[in-house]
Amino acid sequence: MEGIVAAPGMALAQAYIVTQPEISTEKRTVPDALLELERLKGAASVCYSQVEDIMSGLDGSVDPQTVEILDFQLLLLEDTDFIGKIEDAVAAQEVNAEYAIHSVSEEYIAMLDGMTDNDYLRGRVADVADLSQRLINELSGVGNKTAEPDGPYIAVGRDIAPSKVAELDKRKLKGIVLEEGGITSHCVILARSLGIPCLIEATGILVALAPGDTLLLDAVSGKALSNPDAERTQAYHEYAAGREKEKASLSKYIGLKSESADGVEMKVFANIATSAEAAEVVGQGGEGVGLFRSELLYMSQQWRAPTEEAQYAEYSAAAKALGGRPLIIRTLDVGGDKQIGYIDIGREDNPFLGYRAIRYCLDHHEIFMPQISAILRAGTDGDVQMMFPMITCKKEVVEARQVVARVRDDLDAKGVAYDHDMKIGMMVETPAAAADARILAKAVDFFSIGTNDLSQYLFAADRANAKLTALNSSLQPALLRVINEISAAAREEGIEIDICGQAAEVDALIPVWLAMGITNLSVSIPRITAVRRRIRGLRKADCELLLNKVLRLETVDEVGQALSGFSERS
């Protein structure tokens, strides 16, 4: 059976068929609406506890989007526009709760699906459907937890609900195969965050598989095979052995320095979202954290921003775990595709171009100041640095620094210890910031280039739009020329410059970053050793010759060919 690779890799394990029982949602008149309402409320309470339990069982390595998906479902269970309408339908129409859930959720889904100008809300359709089914299951007595196989397994379903993926035993889950799904569905997002292979649109697989079948998932060539023969099984084991050998070969780079063969240092940092991940960074030999995504702390709250003390505890724990290695904390980056219920930004036609990140924070000191205070205080526990997102002009940097000064005065007045000399930097992710890089380099202590956002703004191409993937390529000559100019501005001013976007860990581009004089690359934790290996195999003089050639090229294909040729020779 063939499918589309959504997350690469291979797995061989027992197939675990994840099915949804057929439960009638046909409309029925109930004899006692108040009793039915209590039944609904009881089911909602149980479901709320179930989702909370799933969230509490997640470890620190889980992608922030996983938490966001589950937190959205908790909000729905308290939302008068959703659960409130279901309760109203039961009470006013005197109908069964299953029908009320189904009809209200269908209306809600249709409303969200119709918001063609808001990808965030359209992306919540799967979450509404998932929660609705969870409620109906609970009402019917079917339950939401099914027995998993005792050993390793590959989950197979039509389109497995995100909350179901989140509650599966990650020690046994080796892959996911879907008959339907989409390349950006939440199930696929979770598979990528877990680092497991995933195949979608594998038509007919549910019919072809029987309970207990062995499944070979080849999410490299895009195939799934039930009960493979000895030859194919052997080929898989050779693949798995190769992967283990690759891991073993990379492990020797954990304790080595990130420097080129001719002694030019370019440190390898990591991107994290929780303090729990900091220990893993150290374990993989990471030399610091180039991006701590603080918004997860805010997303994990239901009704209000996390307190200053809660933030301080999280930042302090990360700093201590890093043992003196740099910890760069990005201040709240809300808006765009990161909506938080209690932060009412309002509906925007173009949220990525809207009231987000530093723009919101500068207008809402009640949110901004406690975070700044927590970061400054955590600076006493390690090498903590502060970074502002979405900067477009010097005025925003000046105003943000003024807020920092106010917080310092408050801490001084209270006699609270904090880092008086903390470095303050900024993300360079807008064309305006890139154009004014020489001005901005004088106003901050370091730059960090967010290549994902910089690319989408530079090319006016939504990075979530699959039709525009080619425009958002990190090999775009215009993007590379812009980054080179930003790097030059940083070097002239003598400040550090990091890259924390996806392009930081692209093997073919690492020689370009070394030649540009990038100080640090901040990558995903699993890529730390591979990136370090690549750096150590390079010579800066060779990389500079490559850079001079690349900067004169005019198309993505030309850049790709130049980089490929260099990689083959180096």
Q: Which residues are catalytic?
A: 186, 500
Q: From 31, 8, 480, select the one nearest 218 (Cα to Cα).
A: 8
Locate 124 and state its tokens. 């919540």
Q: From 144, 471, 464, 519, select the one nearest 336 (Cα to Cα).
A: 464
Sequence-separated (6 or more) residues with CB below 8 Å from residue 76: 82, 83, 127, 128, 131
DSSP 331: P
CB 297, CB 331: distance < 8 Å: no
Backbone φ and ψ for 223, nearest 5 degrees, come out as: -140, 155
Q: From 138, 111, 124, 45, select the one nearest 83 (Cα to Cα).
A: 45
Alpha-carbon span 530 to 507, nearest angstrom = 8
Place of tokens 């005792």: 150
Alpha-carbon span 383 to 349, nearest angstrom = 40
The neighbour count for residue 261, using CB atoms within 10 Å, is: 13
DSSP for 192-245 reads: HHHT--EEE--TTHHHH--TT-EEEEEETTTEEEES--HHHHHHHHHHHHHHHH
Alpha-carbon span 187 to 198, nearest angstrom = 9
Alpha-carbon span 311 to 358, nearest angstrom = 18
Place of tokens 């009704």: 303
Q: Quickly list H helices, 261-364.
A: 276-283, 295-299, 308-322, 358-363
CB 255, CB 285: distance < 8 Å: yes
Identity of residue 18: V
